Structure 1
Amino acid sequence: MNKGKIVRLFKTLTAVGFCAFVAGATLTSPVSTAYAQQNTLRIAAVVNDDLVSVYDLKERIELTMLSANLKDSNQTRQRLAGQTLRQLIDEKIKLQAAKENNVSVRDAEINGQIAKIESNNKMPSGQLLRILQARHVDPETLRSQIRAQIAWAKLVGRKLRRRVNIGEDQIDEVLNQAKKDADKQQKRVFEIFVPLESQEREVEVRQNVDRMVNQLREGANFSGMARTFSHASSAGVGGDRGWVLPGDLPPDLQEVVKKLGPGQISAPIETLTGFYILKVTDTRRLGGDKEKSELTFSQISLPLVSNNSNGRQAVIARAQELRKAIKGCADVEAQAKSVEGASVVADSKAKLGDLSGPVRTQVENLKKGETSQPISLDKAVLLITLCDRTDGESNLPSRREIRQRLTMQRMELLERQYIRDLRQAAFIDVRL
């Protein structure tokens, strides 16, 4: 390697100074407190021409414990330290690359993202920063994290977006598949992706991911963990990948999602590039809520003069003949007049979910203009002709949404390669 030779990269954090930092919350003597304060000014890592201080590391760990709802203990701090330091190093690399490419982030953009986090969590304006201050977390820690996320998003958009071209045929393929799967359940998925940068670190990364899963299942906040540790493009929105379409996920991830119900968290899923943790938060029918489909129909009622078997069968046979003569809603009244005692109710409206069992069974698959098979009830035989159908709001994606999804998937692959190249070219010296 050239300047990018990595020195003592990501070694175990066992220095005496770091142990004092971890235990800092419990040190009470004046000498110990002074030592802990002095220790936070030490350098945790050098990243090219920038520094990550122990103070930066301490504050980010505090932020992570707060946002992820983790138990505050020395053990938790020690477990978070290595992962958090790697995250801070990556942020320095991303900000440096953004600066080299004249990408800047305005305060208004950071404030807007903070406002969005508050809105998503139903907080009044300003409450998030007040919570940080009350918990003695420097608000600049959150702002610096958001600054890196925004700068990176701008940079990869500028450098990589032009390398992604989604054709209309690709959109057609996704949309056609979605229509075929309209009756299937769609799931909303949150994700955490931890890359495997080298085979030498596989055991360490696996242990970290296993630990994350345990913390999540014990009540840690998934979105908070994703914002801090996930390397997926969804990290900035708390790991929210959205409603997953058929083909959105690689087959191994898709199979796991199929088995997860709302609120369930997967075990670590190993892939060629790293480990995934997935969570399903909700389900819905891809084609929309069928129960809310509104039907407009005309109904012919043929009364049962005799309720014995022969009398009922005679009326059903007459209804079958009538059904063959009806070509659409415009024919209903005229055809009904040919049957003595028949009554007509025109332009009735009802939601599919409100119809009784026998009626629903005959009506739910009718096409516009079709007439149902005879429906035998206690005192009459019904024929229902469907005049119009307004389906419940469809959950099928628009072409624009599909283009955005496909673009995001391609961009994510390019983005991972880009940050990997930047890491390899960087000078990184971990001092702890």
Structure 2
Amino acid sequence: MTKEIAVRETPAFRRGVAMPFFAKIFGLACLVILTGGLPRAASAAEGAASGASSGSLSQGIAAVVNDEIISSYDLNQRIKLVFASSGIPDTQENRDRIRPQVLRNLIDERLKEQEAKRLKIEVTQDDVDRAFKRIATRSNMTVDQIGEFLKKNGVNKSTLTQQLRTDIAWNKLVGQQFGSLVSVSDGEVQEVLQRLRDESDSPSYDVSEILLTFDNPAQEAEIRNGAEKLIEQIRKGAPFQAVARQFSQSASAASGGDIGWVRASQLPAPVAEVVKNMPSGTVSDPIRTRNGYYIVQLRAMRRGSGADPLNDQYVLMRVLLPLTPDAAPRFVAQRAREAESFRASVKSCDEASRKINSYVGGKADRPRTVLAGQLEPRMRKAISGLKTGDVSQPVRSNAGVEMLVVCGYKPDEGGLPTAEQIDDNLYEQQLSMMARRHLRDLRRDAVVVKR
């Protein structure tokens, strides 16, 4: 039976597969949840409708994957999405720099798509709709606003739709094919737990990662070159989190590369040696491991197992009083008064879910569990110091006036992870390794021609 794994559930461990629900809630940088890249773009008719092209093939062929074409239109759409979601400036120089890695990701996604089709993995429209709603919730946008954002940046919405289908199918495939083969013994869990006890006074590091893998020595130079170009863009200001989502081949890509607080022994040996000597707030050069290159961002370092406020756990209910972005001041003022009235009358989440309906258009989301560090800074500030049952100060957004109701709160106690958390982490590591091996086999057996 496949496990459901959440993102950064504990300070020291990641537990994520693709598409976690809270991966920087309310952050626009979470618009795109790419674990590898965007596959097939819009059809020729859609391309003509959007003004991009009279047909994707008319712009040439970028690659052929087992007799299926990746057109230049596909590639250009994906490059536009990289720029739109990562903050990398859209210049010809940058296009030339990232093109090889973007094309490689497109090829991988076409292979995933073909394998899912072969194994008759089904993705329903409900699956896709839920994925869009998750993106919209995390981005503090509506689904329609996501479409507008893509259109503004020259990306056809069908491109993202197809990517989501491929991403969902691959995760279903990995779970169905390999989930039952993963076995984590009590002995393995206890071994890790004992090692962490022995290292309780040693430093821990708050780390994010990007992993770029290669299948044979002939690809190594290309992958290292790609890693160096990504590092250059990150050091010029591109958000590490967004670049990780676009390019990393680690399971942590879904959470922007974030693996939380870890000790050196939990990292690959070459990575650990670099991290131990890095200043906080810096990004490493490419780090060579057996099958790839890591890029590591060190956010902070601490000694011992002290509590971290960013790992405080909240159960939050988001409530909304809708307003259009261009609402007249008198309507904004009216909503502000309603928000204050609501805050004064609510003492629990049960009350909140009932009373919000008394306001025109008012609605409440289901309560969700999230770590403080996963909240947008202004929302984290809004709930700071609140007790269970309290309602945050109202915050104006594109959707209207938003508030968070605290349904539960558990402060971080520091210390060691539980046996269950270690078990989940080991399970995720093994499942991720099997997925990478399967993709490697698909690459090996594929006939790929790049133009």
* TMscore range, shorter length: 0.5 to 0.7
| 2:438 is aligned with 1:418 | yes
Structure whose alpha-carbon radius of gyration is higher: 1
Q: How far apart in 1 are the matches of 2:412 and 2:61?
A: 59
Quote the residue 2:227 is aligned against: 209
Counterpart of 1:429?
A: 449
**Residues 414 and 286 from structure 1, CA distance in 2 versus in 1: closer, same or farther, beyond 3 angstroms?**
farther
Change (3 A) 1:224 1:175: same
1:85 alignment partner in structure 2: 103
Question: Following TM superposition, by how much is the alpha carbon of 1:71 offset from its aligned partner in structure 2, in angstroms?
Answer: 1.0
1:124 paired with 2:141, answer yes
Q: Report how far residue 193 of structure 1 moved.
A: 1.1
Aligned to 1:281: 299
User: TM-score under structure 2 normalisation?
Assistant: 0.60
- Give the one of 245, 249, 270 matched to 2:288: 270
Q: Cα distance, 1:402 vs. partner?
A: 0.7
| CA pair 223-108 structure 1, distance change in 2 beyond 3 A | farther
User: What is the aligned partner in structure 2 of residue 393 from structure 1?
Assistant: 413
Change (3 A) 1:290 1:197: closer
Q: CA deviation at 1:92?
A: 0.8
Q: 1:62 and 2:80 equivalent?
A: yes
Equivalenced residue count is 299
Matches within 5 A, 1:21-36: none
Deviates more, 1:106-115 or 1:419-428: 106-115
For the residues of structure 1 that align with 2:159 and 2:153, how far apart are their CA atoms? Answer: 13
* CA separation of 1:82 and 1:170: change in aligned 2, threshold 3 A: same
Q: In structure 1, how many angstroms separate the alpha carbons of the residues matched to 2:182 and 2:420?
A: 15
Q: CA RMSD in A?
A: 2.8
In structure 2, the CA distance between the partners of 1:87 and 1:392, relative to structure 1 (3 Å rule), is: closer
What's the offset of the Cα at 1:113?
Answer: 3.8
- 1:132-163 CA-to-partner distances (Å, cap 9, x unmatched) read 22222112223333332222222122212222
Q: Which residues of 2 match residues 31-430 of structure 1 at below 5 A?
A: 41-120=59-138, 123-126=140-143, 127-245=145-263, 247-283=265-301, 287-289=305-307, 393-430=413-450
Contact 1:178 1:286 survives alignment (8 Å): no
Which ranges in structure 2 are unaligned for 5 or more consecutive residues?
1-50, 310-410
Query: In the superposition, relative to structure 1, how do residues 97 and 176 fare at CA in structure 2: closer, same or farther (>3 Å)?
Result: same
Instruction: Pick closer, same or farther for the CA change 1:38–1:422 going to 2, 3 Å.
Output: closer
Equivalent residue for 1:320? none
Q: Who is 2:328 aligned against? A: none
Q: Deviations over 1:54-85 (max 9, x none)?
A: 11111000000111111111111122222111
SS in 2 for 1:136: coil
Q: Is the 8 A contact 1:178 1:246 kept in 2?
A: no
When residues 228 and 35 of structure 1 are mapped into structure 2, their CA distance, relative to the original with a 3 A threshold, is closer
Does structure 2 conserve the Cα–Cα contact (< 8 Å) formed by 1:289 and 1:394? yes
Residues 377-417 of structure 1 deviation map (CA, whole Å, 9 limit, x = unaligned)? xxxxxxxxxxxxxx962352222211111112222322222
Spell out, residue by residue over 1:101-140, the C-alpha distance to the aligned partner (whole angstroms, 9 max, x if none): 122223333444444445555x233344332222221122
Letter in 1 for 2:150: L
The 3 A distance-change label for structure 1 pair 260 and 40 is farther
Distance in 2, matches of 1:146 and 1:394, equals: 36
For residues 158 and 38 of structure 1, what CA distance do their matches in structure 2 show? 34
**What stretches of structure 1 of length at least 5 have no aligned partner?**
1-32, 292-390
Task: Evaluate the alpha carbon distance shift between residue 112 and residue 73 of structure 1 in structure 2; reply closer, same or farther with a 3 A threshold.
Answer: same
The 1:246–1:396 alpha-carbon spacing in structure 2 relative to 1, beyond 3 Å, is: farther
Distance 1:419 1:41 in 2: 29
Q: CA deviation at 1:35?
A: 9.1
Distance 1:105 1:258, change over 3 A: farther
Q: Which residue type is aligned with residue 75 of structure 2?
A: L
Secondary structure, aligned partner of 1:259: coil
Partner amino acid for 2:259? R
Structure 1 residue 234: Cα displacement: 1.9
Q: 2-side partners of 1:290 and 1:235: how far apart? A: 23
Aligned partner of 1:413: which letter? M
Q: Deviation at 1:40?
A: 5.2
Q: Structure 1 CA distance, aligned partners of 2:426 and 2:288? A: 23
Task: Decide whether aligned partners of structure 1 residues 278 and 119 sit closer, same or farther in structure 2, where only a CA change above 3 A counts.
Answer: farther
- Tell me which stretches of 4 or more aligned residues in structure 1 moved more than 6 Å: 33-39
When residues 392 and 221 of structure 1 are mapped into structure 2, their CA distance, relative to the original with a 3 A threshold, is closer
Q: For residues 119 and 308 of structure 2, what CA distance do their matches in structure 1 show? A: 50
Amino acid at match of 2:71: S
Contact 1:174 1:402 (C-alpha < 8 Å) held by counterparts:
yes
